[in-house]
Structure 1
Amino acid sequence: MTEVPPEHGHIDLEKPNAARVYDYYLGGDHNFAVDRGMAEEAIAMWPDLPLIMQANRAFLRRAVQYCAERGIRQFLDLGSGIPTVGNVHEVAQQAAPGARVVYVDTDPIAVAYSRKLLQDNPDATIVDADLRDPEAVLASPEVAELLDLSQPIALMMVAVLHFVTDDDEPGKIVARYREAMAPGSYLVISHASAESRPDVGPAHADLYRRRTSTPMTMRTRSEVTGFFEGFELVDPGVVFLQQWRSAEVGEQPERFPGLAGVGRKP
């Protein structure tokens, strides 16, 4: 169990937080009893959830490696969450020393621990901002200092768009970031979907709606593919998490029903 860092503001310890619940799924310790309680309730409903979250994290690492191998040296990670092993900056800077990474999150725990983790890393920082406000994110001093938006970047939207409701028009949000990205940039998305698990997916989303301040919206493959409008989808397209350029695809990739894809801006 994490201690509450004294340097940031009020933390609601009465309501589970999606970032901290995700941290618990991954085996982290930056979470509280209320988060663990909800996570255990969700796992009782859907026992594969921790494995799905691990598959999502593995996709993130493969996607960062893919972008780095294609010359990307700048990464903007939206809704980055709480630091865990295999962060974007760790993968990117191992593949390409000097790669620059800006994380973006509004959760006070995520922001505080990211700042602590990155305090000695001159090529990585975090912005305390809401990804639903692209203008604020893109105009932030941190982005201006570390990223050159006239050059290609990788925009990471991993396991975050399902926390953007339809009322917030996620397609328009993605489009605004796309407009700011130079040709040759990449968009990386993973997204919750009940496509192969209609028996438990909707109930899982309902749990987030009832218990957290960040309701979850499950989306179909066609809806997730729509976020890549204006990008050229990298083979194999929008697929289950384990199917995206993994050397170890299980016999039942639909068991891990999150959808993942990478697109390149021409």
Structure 2
Amino acid sequence: MRYLFFILFSLTVVSCSSQKKDTFKAKEIYKSDHLIITQISEHSFIHTSYKQTNDFGNVPCNGLVVKDHNETIVFDTPVTDESSEELIRWINGNLHSKINAVVATHFHDDSMGGIQAFNGHKIPSYGYIRTLELGKQDNFAVPVNSFVDSLVLKVGDEKALVGFFGEGHTKDNTVGYFPKDQILFGGCLLKELEAGKGYLGDANVSSWPDTVEKVKKKYPDVKIVVPGHGEYGDRKLLDYTINLFKK
């Protein structure tokens, strides 16, 4: 009987330890007038800046920082060069990390409005080839480097993946995936739960759900999903976005 109790007790301790290890409580770790940084996993941080719009008011815009050892990769810049400079200082000073690369997931300013700040620091910047084309058409500052279809970037001993899966919010929207934390940065291709359709001025609404289906199929192990605006969540954001734009 005593032996059975010992086994049950040991299993309980292991179970609790496992749950504790797998559970990360998100916390806001930096806040200023222009930038908020929230840690959402051991190696991943959402950066949030704000864009003043005519139709939707002062909109919070998300990006992502992923880290391994003393290296990071940034997905999407803050909206302005000033808030991007602030993010760069925070990564260098608080994470004590080098920025290996910044990736713009589409050509709007809530994705690459601060790209010139990163370029000015000689931080390698990347965008899908159409992102550079569309940005230049609008006379925006654009990433220095382009890629076709997909990109693999090294961060510490890990890697971050970037891919184009089809049109949706824009003709050039890409997503980023960090396998170590099983986290997907969907940018403006993905919507937070209960969100409306948002700005559709450059959208391909008919292709949007099929594009997200491809993302869902490509990354079956994703646990955390970060949209371009609003609250992050899990795989439910993929299904919500698909259903939102289905005919």
Query: Is the shorter-chain TM-score for this pair beyond 0.5, marking a shared fold?
Result: no
TM-score (norm 1): 0.35
Larger-gyration structure (1/2): 2
Q: If each structure's helix is expressed as a fraction of its own residues, which one has the higher value?
A: 1
